[in-house]
């Protein structure tokens, strides 16, 4: 799962921390920092059951920034079961 951060102004996204939650076939809360390009990558363990998995962004944190979920193109994505 890769998330790309885009801001309304030219803002350095390096080090901005994204926190998200896996649900469905796998569950857990994870956090990771963005790289220089604003990309954040999350991986789930191999899923061995016939069930979808959903990833939801819970927060994006950096001093001086306010995360507004309603301004996202999407706050979650469901990945269909590969089985």
Average pLDDT, integer, range 51-63: 91
Examine residue 50 and state whether it is found in any structural domain, yes or no: yes
Note whether residue 33 is domain-resident.
yes
Chain-centre distance of CA 42, in angstroms? 7
- 11 lies in some domain: yes
Identify whether 25 is part of a domain.
yes
Single out the residue of 4, 3, 1, 9 nearest to residue 66, CA to CA. Answer: 9
pLDDT of residue 64: 79
Mean pLDDT of the 34-60 span? 87
Look at residues 27, 63, 60 and name the one whose alpha carbon lies nearest to residue 45. 27
83 found inside a domain: no
How many domains in the chain?
1
Domain of 16 in residue numbering reads as: 2-78
Higher pLDDT: 67 or 82? It is 67
């Amino acid at each position: 799962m890769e998330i790309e951060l885009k801001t309304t102004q030219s803002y350095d996204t390096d080090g901005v921390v994204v926190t998200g939650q896996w649900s469905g076939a796998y569950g857990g809360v994870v956090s990771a920092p963005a790289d220089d390009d604003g990309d954040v990558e999350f991986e789930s363990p191999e899923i061995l059951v016939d069930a979808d998995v959903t990833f939801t962004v819970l927060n994006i944190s950096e001093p001086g920034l306010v995360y507004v979920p309603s301004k996202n193109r999407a706050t979650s994505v469901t990945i269909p079961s590969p089985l």
